[in-house]
């Protein structure tokens, strides 16, 4: 068989489908209904052409339709924009990827020599996902960094391994402020969003905007209940999750990595650095690798980059294939949007686009979970409880709320299914102390949680008894 002919047929079929927006619209409407998502957008860009379609309502029962300009709170997708903004400053020689950030930010004090922008953007800074912060609200990034970028909020030594961190991106936002002399909000708008043709919307900020913003929704597929969710983003945490975007906006960001890119905004070298996986950044359960602000996902012979984000009751995603000149983005206003996104990728793959749903890779055979895995683990202000069921399966909870049950494998990995949205899964693994062999941590959806000190001490006592 002449595989080159098959490839040309696949390309022709895909090009034809790009010309027919109704096919994408029908797909989006069908999947939104299946996953009980009130409203969604899909944008696909290939060889300079973008097809964008919308479905549903901005708020359930509100009667206002989603349009191409509707902005969806993107949650952690905001980090890709903050990273891009930082890389523009790197390209201008205003920031150095490997210089200690203490040279610019004296407020990080004793950790200033350990933190670098490369470590922060690749989530290898060692910082917790979110700090032990209590109920305090912060309007200043400087105050937030001063209070929380401290040894008490380190999960591991900087540079040691991957652990997803919102706090690290607040630190990046503070770097942007000091270098530009502007607030993060102003720098984001003037340096990145306006040049991309994006009308900015900031969630949680008292800043005017002209666009409609989709409401988030909590959907429980088991009970069939859908309810609105209020967005809650602290102003100081904006660099990690405060942007609201349309799917077309996300594809515009992707265009910086396609074709000739946008060298007047982000040179090709710096764009490529963002896509290159960082050695030691292993985001188990989130992606196959992590670059400087972008995750990497392997799909057959193709490597895509992008980011996923969950706001309060929203789920937004984008992927870029620089080699094939593809950019795909989906926004949704429900917590069930992740399952919709996974199924959407499968449908797009069947249509000839070289992409597939990301599936966390676990290996080994199912075993009765070792008792050593049970215990309390912490990451910032989140506490995880792991117990062993009579049938040998794992039972996990976060701050008292059940995360579900999972089978443990002999390599100490597991896959957890969300009880409220059964089509959503999270991969995790237990970490063993290299010197003692004790289970000392658990990594769930990329976040590392360490066994609490009291439990760790009890384990060591048992080991030496």
Angstrom distances, CA of residue 364 to CA of 368, 408, 413, 431: 13, 9, 8, 16
**What is the Cβ-side half-sphere exposure of residue 37, based on CA atoms within 13 angstroms?**
32
Angstrom distances, CA of residue 416 to CA of 221, 337, 389, 407, 437: 17, 18, 14, 8, 24
How far apart are alpha carbons 62 and 66 in whole angstroms?
11
Strand partners for 308? 317
Given the residues 76, 78, 125, 407, select the one marked as catalytic. 76
Range list of β-strands (E), 322-434: 326-332, 366-367, 375-379, 382-388, 394-398, 401-406, 408-409, 413-417, 425-432
Q: Which of 184, 174, 178 is nearest to 142 (CA)?
A: 174
Q: Which of 393, 353, 375, 344 is nearest to 442 (CA)?
A: 375
Angstrom distances, CA of residue 322 to CA of 272, 275, 453, 458: 9, 9, 45, 51
How far apart are alpha carbons 236 and 233 in whole angstroms?
8
CA 236 and chain centroid, separation: 19
Angstrom distances, CA of residue 75 to CA of 211, 244, 254, 269, 421: 17, 8, 17, 27, 19
Three-class SS of residue 399? Answer: coil
Please indicate whether residue 299 is annotated as part of the active site: no
How far apart are alpha carbons 223 and 236 in whole angstroms?
36
Contact between residue 285 and residue 427 where contact means Cβ atoms under 8 Å apart: yes
Phi-psi label, residue 322: left if phi above 0, alpha if psi -120 to 50, beta otherwise: alpha
**DSSP state at residue 173:** H
Strand partners for 451? 377
Angle, helices 21-34/337-350, rounded to nearest 10 degrees: 140
How far apart are alpha carbons 124 and 116 in whole angstroms?
10
Three-class SS of residue 459? Answer: helix
How far apart are alpha carbons 6 and 215 in whole angstroms?
44
Which residues are tagged catalytic?
A: 76
């Amino acid at each position: 068989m002449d595989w080159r002919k098959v490839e040309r047929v696949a390309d022709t079929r895909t090009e034809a489908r790009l010309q027919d927006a109704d096919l994408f619209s029908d797909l989006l409407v069908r999947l939104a209904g299946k996953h009980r998502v009130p409203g969604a957008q899909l944008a696909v860009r290939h060889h300079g052409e973008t097809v964008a379609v919308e479905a549903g309502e901005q708020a359930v029962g509100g009667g206002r339709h989603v349009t191409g300009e509707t902005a969806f709170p993107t949650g952690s997708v905001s980090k890709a924009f903050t990273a891009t903004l930082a890389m523009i400053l790197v390209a201008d020689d205003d920031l150095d990827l490997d210089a200690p950030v203490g040279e610019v930010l004296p407020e990080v004090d004793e950790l200033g020599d350990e933190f670098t922008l490369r470590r922060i953007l690749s989530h290898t800074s060692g910082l917790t996902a979110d700090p032990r912060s209590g109920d305090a609200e912060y309007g200043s990034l400087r105050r937030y960094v001063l209070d929380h970028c401290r040894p008490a909020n380190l999960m591991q030594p900087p540079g040691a391994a991957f652990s997803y961190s919102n706090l690290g991106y607040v630190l990046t936002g503070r770097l942007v402020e000091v270098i530009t002399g502007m607030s993060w909000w102003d720098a984001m708008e003037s340096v990145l969003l306006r040049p991309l043709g994006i009308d900015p919307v900031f969630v949680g900020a008292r800043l005017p905007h002209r666009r409609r913003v989709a409401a988030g929704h909590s959907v429980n597929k088991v009970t069939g209940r859908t309810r609105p969710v209020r967005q809650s983003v602290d102003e100081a945490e904006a660099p990690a999750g405060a942007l609201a975007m349309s799917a077309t906006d996300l594809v515009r960001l992707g265009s910086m990595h396609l074709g000739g890119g946008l060298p007047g905004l982000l040179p090709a070298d710096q764009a490529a650095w963002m896509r290159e996986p960082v050695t030691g950044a292993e985001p188990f359960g989130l992606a196959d690798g992590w670059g400087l602000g972008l995750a990497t996902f392997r799909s057959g012979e193709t490597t895509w980059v992008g980011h996923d984000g969950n706001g309060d009751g929203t789920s937004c995603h984008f992927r870029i294939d620089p080699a094939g000149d593809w950019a795909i983005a989906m926004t949704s206003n429900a917590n069930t949007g992740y399952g919709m996104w996974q199924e959407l990728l499968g449908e797009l793959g069947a249509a000839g686009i070289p992409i597939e749903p990301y599936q966390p890779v676990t290996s080994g055979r199912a075993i009765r979970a070792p008792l050593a895995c049970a215990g309390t683990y912490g990451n910032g202000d989140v506490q995880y409880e792991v117990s062993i069921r009579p049938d040998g399966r794992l039972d996990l909870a976060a701050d008292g709320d059940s995360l579900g049950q999972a089978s443990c494998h002999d390599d100490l990995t597991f896959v957890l299914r969300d009880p409220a949205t059964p089509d959503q899964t999270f991969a995790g693994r237990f970490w063993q102390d290299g010197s003692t062999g004790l289970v000392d941590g658990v990594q769930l959806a990329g976040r590392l949680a360490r066994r609490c000190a009291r439990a760790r001490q009890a384990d060591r006592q048992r080991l030496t008894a």
